[in-house]
Structure 1
Amino acid sequence: MPAPDLLLGIDLGAGSLKASLITFDGALAGEGSHAVSTSAPKPGWSEQDPWDWWRAACAAVPAALARAGGDPKRIAAISFSAGAHTQVLEDRAGQVIRPAILWNDQRSGQQTRALRERADDRILEIGYNRANPTWTLPQMLWLKEVEPEAFRRVHRLYVAKDWLRSRFTGGFETDLIDGVGTLMVDARTGDWSDELCGLIDWPLASLPPIVQPKSRVGSVTAEAARATGLAEGTPVICGTSDTAVETYGAGMMRPGIGVAKLATAATVSVLSPHAVPHKEMINYPHVIPDHWYVITATNSCASAHKWLRDTFFRRDGEDGSAIFDQMERLASAVPPGSEGLFFHPYLNGERSPHWDPLLRADFVGIGFNHGPGHFVRALYEGISYSLRDCLEVLRANGLGFATARLTGGGAKSALWRQTLADVLDVTVELPAVADASFGAALLAGVGIGAFSDEAAAEAAIRVVATHRSDPERAEHYARGFVLYREIQAALAPLNHRIHAHMAGA
């Protein structure tokens, strides 16, 4: 029997679960995906049923395996990733207590303010990050105050990828990167923090042991093998958050290379030899040992692109991918600057650098000269400006890069890639494969020794497109960025007044 020669990465995204099988030299052998639905019972809420994740895995993994030839014994190891912060709560009987609150949920704004008033500087000192509605700590304070019965029932808290992985192994553990993402870990020591958990009376006994992302945490059980088509006993590696494995899979393994992620949300990440705690930035340990990655983020990216498509371009029954292609063609005919049309992508509030859940999106400067293509190009430019907003925070703190590797679905657009290069005034590179499932598969290889160490996996990464900043367009966008910021500052108070009006204040 030939030796196993494939690695499986499973990533739980905001809208779908994806499974990727790759060879040890980074070639894609097969992939499969399955949609995952999100519910919004109230404005600003974002929830998913964890069992939908398992059902999606049971569909996506066999599809990937079939495209790779169908032999599960070729798989040498499996690893996982998912969005940080999202939690699954189980009671003593192992039953899921309530839907998982996602990272983009905004319900805990009041609890965030309370935590900041009580211990803003101390939380930053211990957790290396500031409380905001994205993080598990304020979300669980919301649970305590609004759903106290659910709070009292909690026996185990899983982070999303760990709960999904436990369906394969039966284990209960997390990694340090996802642990830091709960804002319940002392980032200085790598242990769960009595003090942070004490702020919300969270029981430490409900939290999992912390291991390394590359640690082997079990094997595929017989039950999971029957459900997914995998081979019983296949090694399972812990894994970590989606952004961690995406930046890793894109090649952010040395200084000078950053990563811009154009996914449901958008992020700008940079490698650092140490954490840089700051109220406007996010800090995580990196897959690369003794390094951190520092992030700034905008809430709405591909989600805004999809919203524009579905709201203004798509008719019932039409193929969504074809509509995206049509939108790209229309935008390509519009000159840089969209003839004075600006877009701010705050459809669900905003993170960096504003950290304001009450900001809302806008198109500003509309005239009779603007057609459908202008709105698409303005969206590309507006999200790129928002990422420039994010990058400026990093630059102000001595962090930056000359080259950005791109990840996420938005990176498929050549026009968007070039726009981002011009707005950020950097070189943009597109890896052949750089999504989270690819990075998770690489991590699986590190976990079983297929690569000598984390950096050795870089040989499996290939760049297929390069976009360099054009000096003339970069100067044009530099002037436009000033206007973009001025419009945001002018409209922010009105966004707050609109919120108060709708709330009946």
Structure 2
Amino acid sequence: MSNDLFLGIDLGAGSLKATLIDAAGAVIADAAAPVTTSAPQSGWSEQDPNNWWVAVCTALPRLLEKAGVPASRIAALSVSAGAHTQVLEDENGVVIRPAILWNDQRASTQTQALRDAADARILEISGNRANPTWTLPQMLWLKENEPDNFARVKRLYLAKDWIRSRFTGDWMTDPIDAAGTLMSVADGSSWSAEICDMIGWNLETLPPISPSTARAGTVSAQAARETGLAEGTPVIVGASDTAVETYGAGLTEPGLGVIKLATAATVSVLSPDLHASNTVINYPHVMPDQFYVIAATNSCASAHKWLRDTFFMSPETDGSAAFDRMETLASSVPVGSEGLFFHPYLNGERSPHWDPLLRAEFAGIGFQHGAGHFVRALYEGVAFSLRDCREALAAQELEFSTARLIGGGTQSPLWCQIVADVLGVDVELPGNGDASFGAALLAGVGVGAFADEAAAAKAAIRVAKRIAPNPDNAAFYTEAHSIYVDIQKALSPIHHRIARLQGNRGVSPMKED
């Protein structure tokens, strides 16, 4: 029996997932293991990298057992994880501190300092503007707040690279994750000494850069014993989660959008050109000679889970049953939630506001509103935030009329329809579109199972369902969105005053441009 299967591993905010596929894109099996995120202070978000490897060693044996196939059939594996999330090791290979995640907001003061000193130059070199989500301001925070740890750094890994290194012993990254540090040139092909000098960062601590489809090494004997994989299995460099999940959803050429309803929500499009601006994010893509341009909202499925855990759960309640009840209640509520609005800024906001001090609220509450109204208002509020993202892309002349919808939020039929209606676009749900699937497909490209990235996508990606926007609902939501925007503008200064009242000194508001 030949080695004809491909393994993808993705590290998420709440779990690590592994997916095994064949060359036709069929999922043979998948398995997951939990990971824990901690928030030692308001606005902080951290994980212990050592727990990631525990999750790997838990998920992979489960996967192989479910698949019922020998590990020798796996032709290659690839890993993905969130961008910006760094692992710092000392000269003895010991992890120095917990990894600061992409949604951490602690570095807003350092972000403002970088903007004041070199805003235009950083944008010119890197293609992106300094924001708290990037590694560069996070490492400036480290220098100012944990100088001993800053001085100890011998090697910086990105999250997926650290996990991969536990399989192979390698130290490298790909252009996409390199760009995600804000410490490289825009296409991720090389590190920028000029940017690194801005925070006194030692270039020698940054890994070599190789293509996402390059071979990083093979599974070591020790990793084989710990995970159940076959020693010598090829390991491909991989890429960030959004890169592989948009690729796995079929984002292989300009003109299509990919919308992700996950912990955060993103809107992504492809472009052959860099769109450096203050409102959107640019990365090189796994598709050669293409950038993918993103606008993003911080809280999506995380807001949905927050609402469930806060108001719909009890010690006797099953989480899945609570979500089902929420869906049923929301489905009985009319379009517009009878004037109830929600802004999903539970952890600040990214595009287009880039303000870590914005906070969520329900506005317009009346006696007519019941539990279902709050659920539907949350669905609509996230969709309105995604419309903000789409308009930020449209300002860069990046338009689309069809979007592939991916992420855990797609399990809600109502939410999918609301997204189609609010954005006024046709929505397609791919048969498989998560990051672990895209990583597995990339592994196949890396070992030559497909002619190239486009051929792999054509062979393996399918559309399972299509949803058209309701014209009447779309017209209503256009008017409602203008009210949503006005509420945000009116309450933004109030959120800043609340933050000052709370004495939250670890997170400072950005200056308005």
TM-score, normalised to structure 2's length? 0.97
1:492 equivalent in structure 2: 492
Residue identity matched to 1:10: I
Q: Please list, as runs of the form range in 1=range in 2, the aligned pairs for 1:313-392 lying within 5 A after superposition.
A: 313-392=312-391
1:286 equivalent in structure 2: 285
Residue identity matched to 1:91: D
Residue identity matched to 2:109: Q
1:501 equivalent in structure 2: 501
Deviation at 1:62, TM superposition (A): 1.2
User: How many Å separate the matches in 2 of 1:438 and 1:318?
Assistant: 31
The one-character-per-residue Cα deviations of 1:191-215 (angstroms, maximum 9, x if unpaired) are: 1000010010000000000000000
User: How many Å separate the matches in 1 of 2:15 and 2:233?
Assistant: 24
Deviation at 1:255, TM superposition (A): 2.1
The one-character-per-residue Cα deviations of 1:465-495 (angstroms, maximum 9, x if unpaired) are: 1111111000000000000000000000000
Deviation at 1:317, TM superposition (A): 4.2
2:196 equivalent in structure 1: 197
Same amino acid, percent of matched pairs: 66
Deviation at 1:407, TM superposition (A): 1.3
The one-character-per-residue Cα deviations of 1:157-198 (angstroms, maximum 9, x if unpaired) are: 000000010000010000000000000001257210000100
Q: Please list, as runs of the form range in 1=range in 2, the aligned pairs for 1:7-156 lying within 5 A after superposition.
A: 7-156=6-155
2:480 equivalent in structure 1: 480
TM-score, normalised to structure 1's length? 0.99
User: How many Å separate the matches in 2 of 1:319 and 1:257?
Assistant: 37
Q: Please list, as runs of the form range in 1=range in 2, the aligned pairs for 1:224-239 lying within 5 A after superposition.
A: 224-239=223-238
Deviation at 1:413, TM superposition (A): 0.9
Structure 1 residue runs without a partner (length 5+) = none
Deviation at 1:29, TM superposition (A): 0.2
The one-character-per-residue Cα deviations of 1:1-41 (angstroms, maximum 9, x if unpaired) are: x1112100000001100000001100000100011001100
User: How many Å separate the matches in 2 of 1:388 and 1:498?
Assistant: 27
Residue identity matched to 2:202: P
3-state secondary structure, aligned to 2:95: coil
Q: Indicate if the aligned counterparts of 1:32 and 1:64 stay in contact, CA closer than 8 A.
A: yes
Q: Which runs of 4+ in 1 moved over 6 A?
A: none
User: How many Å separate the matches in 2 of 1:255 and 1:42?
Assistant: 41
User: How many Å separate the matches in 2 of 1:465 and 1:321?
Assistant: 23
Cα RMSD for the two superposed structures = 0.9
The one-character-per-residue Cα deviations of 1:408-459 (angstroms, maximum 9, x if unpaired) are: 1111111111000000000011111100000000000000011110001122
Q: Note if 1:460 corresponds to 2:460.
A: yes
3-state secondary structure, aligned to 2:497: helix
Distance 1:504 1:453, change over 3 A: closer
1:428 equivalent in structure 2: 427
Which deviates further from its counterpart, 140-149 or 179-188?
179-188
Q: Indicate if the aligned counterparts of 2:178 and 2:188 stay in contact, CA closer than 8 A.
A: no
User: How many Å separate the matches in 2 of 1:239 and 1:202?
Assistant: 25
Deviation at 1:344, TM superposition (A): 0.1
Which deviates further from its counterpart, 495-504 or 81-90?
495-504
User: How many Å separate the matches in 2 of 1:480 and 1:118?
Assistant: 40
Residue identity matched to 2:387: R
User: How many Å separate the matches in 2 of 1:72 and 1:139?
Assistant: 39
User: How many Å separate the matches in 1 of 2:312 and 2:231?
Assistant: 47
1:469 equivalent in structure 2: 469
The one-character-per-residue Cα deviations of 1:248-281 (angstroms, maximum 9, x if unpaired) are: 0000112221100111000000010111101100
Residue identity matched to 1:361: A
User: How many Å separate the matches in 1 of 2:149 and 2:18?
Assistant: 32
Q: Indicate if the aligned counterparts of 2:179 and 2:188 stay in contact, CA closer than 8 A.
A: no
Deviation at 1:70, TM superposition (A): 3.8
Q: Indicate if the aligned counterparts of 1:126 and 1:188 stay in contact, CA closer than 8 A.
A: no
Q: Indicate if the aligned counterparts of 2:263 and 2:301 stay in contact, CA closer than 8 A.
A: yes
User: How many Å separate the matches in 2 of 1:88 and 1:53?
Assistant: 11
User: How many Å separate the matches in 1 of 2:330 and 2:476?
Assistant: 18
Structure 2 residue runs without a partner (length 5+) = 506-513
The one-character-per-residue Cα deviations of 1:125-173 (angstroms, maximum 9, x if unpaired) are: 0000000000000000000000000000000000000001000001000
Q: Indicate if the aligned counterparts of 2:35 and 2:52 stay in contact, CA closer than 8 A.
A: yes
User: How many Å separate the matches in 2 of 1:165 and 1:343?
Assistant: 40
Distance 1:504 1:352, change over 3 A: closer
3-state secondary structure, aligned to 2:352: coil
